[in-house]
Structure 1
Amino acid sequence: MEWLVSLMGAGLVMVTLRDLFHTLWHPTRHGGLSRLVMTALWRLARRFRARRRVVGLVGPLAMVTVVCMWASFIVLGWAIVYWPHMPGSFTFSPGSEAAQEPALVDSVYLSLVTVATLGLGDIAPGEGWLRLVSPLEAVMGFALLTATVSWVLEIYPALTRRRVLAIRLALLRDSDPTQQQLDCTAGAVLLDSLATEVVRVRLDFTQYAEAYYFHDGEDHSSLAAMIGYAAALAERGQSAGRPEVRLAGDLLAGALRDLAAILDQRFLHTGAAPTDVFAAYAADHGRAQ
């Protein structure tokens, strides 16, 4: 029975590590528990029509919540591993009152101290197998800290790329180029560069799915509000007279279709055409195209 309980704790740790791996390091970033947490917080904020300032905190709050969830599950899982063997398989420092506490309390305390790599030493594993496996928890704690820092450092460049594209589209919309200005070599270069940026954003939504739950600022920096204008530019490029402009328009239209497919597949689930997907994207972020 003791080993069964310990195996349950090990299973909880493995489930947590799997979710952490799929969220941060898997090529497609298909996290399970983390995605559920982020989606739930996003829908809760949208359902109650929270103010933009509050909705803007959903992304950072969701990341903090997910990291806390991972840490809690790792601590709890290892505590369950220790629990059936406490206190008989552990040694206590002289004068320590830890042995007088309930076994579960001591197990959680030991797990917290170990995952934080504090190494206080008032409770130490005595049996050989525990002395071999308990340092693994300290390694997991260090890995979790490193993963959290790298996650933060990765997500904000992705958000910057998305907002740069949105601001560029806003500037183009404000300048309102004519068809004649677009139907030239410079117009082909412009459309081609926009297609490249759209592809980058598409990859960001694939590799950093949590970026979707970050609410952008004003409309000029919101891709949800500006993506419709990119589709309009693509249509104008496709109807241009110059072949290089038509090709660039086709490239931009293809990149937008691919982006719409990713948004719909991973977040919106409308099954609609790209134009409708972008409209749903704008509505989900409280924007109007």
Structure 2
Amino acid sequence: MPLMLRSLLWLPGALMVVAVLLDLIVTCIQTGEGRLSRAIHRPLYGLLRRAAHHSGRRALLSWATPVIITGTLTAWTLLTWLGWTLIFWSHPGALVGAESGQPATFVACFYFVGYTISTLGLGEIIAPQAFWRVMTDVAAINGFFLLTFAITFVVPIAQARTERRELALLLHRAGPGAQALIVNAVQDHDRGLSSLTGDLQHLLNRLDAAHLNTPYLHRFHDHDRQDALDLHLPALGEALLIIQGALRGDCPRGLKRALASVDSLSRTFERTQSRHPLLRAAEVPPTPDLTSLREAGLPLRSREAFREDLRSHAALRARLHAMARAGEWRWDQVATPEADERMAD
């Protein structure tokens, strides 16, 4: 490689290092998802989604969590590693062998940067000049930052996934399905419909905050039906809308706050999956048949009044429908899973 061209390699190297640092700050500290992380997450997630959709194996979506986490950490590490390698290699003689004193080759620079950013400091290759010694220290500090932010990236995901499963399990055992949630709450819970509104409020708020801080959580899916938030959250949203628009009498305390949390969670899904073809073609689900509620003896408003109320929440229902479809669930599995399970049996 010509010496003049080689001397300019520090520029793309520095851009790589700065790009990773900025992405670490945005993804791990600020609210949202860095551009670099988004560029990593979207193709990996899209590949898994296409594989799951075309093969008919929904279980493939459960690999989104390890694939996205591993892919992100690998990209951050490799870009930082390659960036510092280009910075050191751009200046002949910046690094030399500790015993031979000969300028380090590209492979030797790559090896030196690897053990420097991992803070091992083996000392087989050294920087003879003061400037490059300082740059070695900077690279080591950069490596320490990378390790620290990697932990900051993984730990909140693990905590949020635990809370996602907690809510999904609660709703699965309370239903499952939108209308079963209502009937079982009225018949089997001492707090009645408040078990779907006030009792879940704190958990819904924590999940809402977690998804606002870490919106790519919407790309993570669970293998089992009972753990699937992308199935049970739409069911809860549909149940709350039925309670608000179809049941006669006073609304239970906490209903509006619970609906606001579900709406906020659906909006972070919309922002995260803005390019998702299922969301772009999102459909409003049909008006639910409330036969099971009538059979349970619940007082209902007229179908026309209920349909009118649902019409004002069409955008929310479309987002919930898209969320379920993104998890490879059908809407009948959200609304009336009992019928679906009988067919499966």
TM superposition score category, shorter chain reference: 0.7 to 0.9
> Scaled by the length of structure 1, what TM-score is found?
0.86
2:46 corresponds, among 43, 59, 77, to 43
**How much does 1:236 deviate?**
4.0
Residues 1:176 and 1:7: Cα distance change in structure 2 (over 3 Å): closer
1:120 corresponds, among 122, 132, 137, to 122
Contact 1:189–1:248 (8 Å) recurs in 2: no
Contact 1:184–1:242 (8 Å) recurs in 2: no
1:259 aligns to what?
Answer: 265
1:171 aligns to what?
Answer: 173
Give structure 1 stretches of 5+ with no counterpart. none
| Superimposed CA distance per residue, residues 141-194 of structure 1 (whole angstroms, 9 cap, x where no aligned partner) | 222223223322221110111111111112221565449938996533541232
The answer to whether structure 1 residue 151 and structure 2 residue 153 are counterparts is yes
Q: 1:144 & 1:176 partners in 2: Cα distance? A: 45
Q: Which has the higher helix share?
A: 1
**How much does 1:58 deviate?**
2.0
1:207 aligns to what?
Answer: 213
| Greater alpha carbon shift after TM alignment, 72-81 vs 151-160 | 151-160
**How much does 1:82 deviate?**
0.7
1:9 corresponds, among 2, 5, 13, to 13
Same amino acid, percent of matched pairs: 23
Residues 1:177 and 1:263: Cα distance change in structure 2 (over 3 Å): closer
**How much does 1:79 deviate?**
0.9
Q: 2:103 & 2:237 partners in 1: Cα distance? A: 69
- After the TM superposition, which residues 12-91 of structure 1 pair with which residues of structure 2 at under 5 Å, given as runs? 12-26=16-30, 28-49=31-52, 50=55, 51-87=57-93, 89-91=94-96
2:320 corresponds, among 270, 278, 281, to 278
Aligned amino acid, residue 41 of structure 1 = L
Aligned-residue RMSD, C-alpha: 2.7
**How much does 1:281 deviate?**
0.9
1:134 corresponds, among 133, 136, 161, to 136
Residues 1:53 and 1:266: Cα distance change in structure 2 (over 3 Å): closer
Q: 2:32 & 2:124 partners in 1: Cα distance? A: 40
Task: Give SS of 1:164's match.
Answer: helix
| Greater alpha carbon shift after TM alignment, 171-180 vs 146-155 | 171-180
Q: 1:39 & 1:238 partners in 2: Cα distance? A: 36
2:240 corresponds, among 226, 234, 237, to 234
- Between the two proteins, the alignment pairs up a number of residues equal to 283
Q: 1:190 & 1:277 partners in 2: Cα distance? A: 20
**How much does 1:100 deviate?**
7.0
> Scaled by the length of structure 2, what TM-score is found?
0.73
Q: 2:84 & 2:15 partners in 1: Cα distance? A: 10
Aligned amino acid, residue 33 of structure 2 = H
**How much does 1:3 deviate?**
5.8
Contact 1:6–1:82 (8 Å) recurs in 2: yes
Aligned amino acid, residue 129 of structure 2 = E
| Superimposed CA distance per residue, residues 35-94 of structure 1 (whole angstroms, 9 cap, x where no aligned partner) | 22222111111112253443212211211111111111111111111112232x334322
Q: 1:180 & 1:209 partners in 2: Cα distance? A: 31
Task: Give SS of 2:126's match.
Answer: strand
Q: 1:204 & 1:238 partners in 2: Cα distance? A: 26
The answer to whether structure 1 residue 196 and structure 2 residue 202 are counterparts is yes
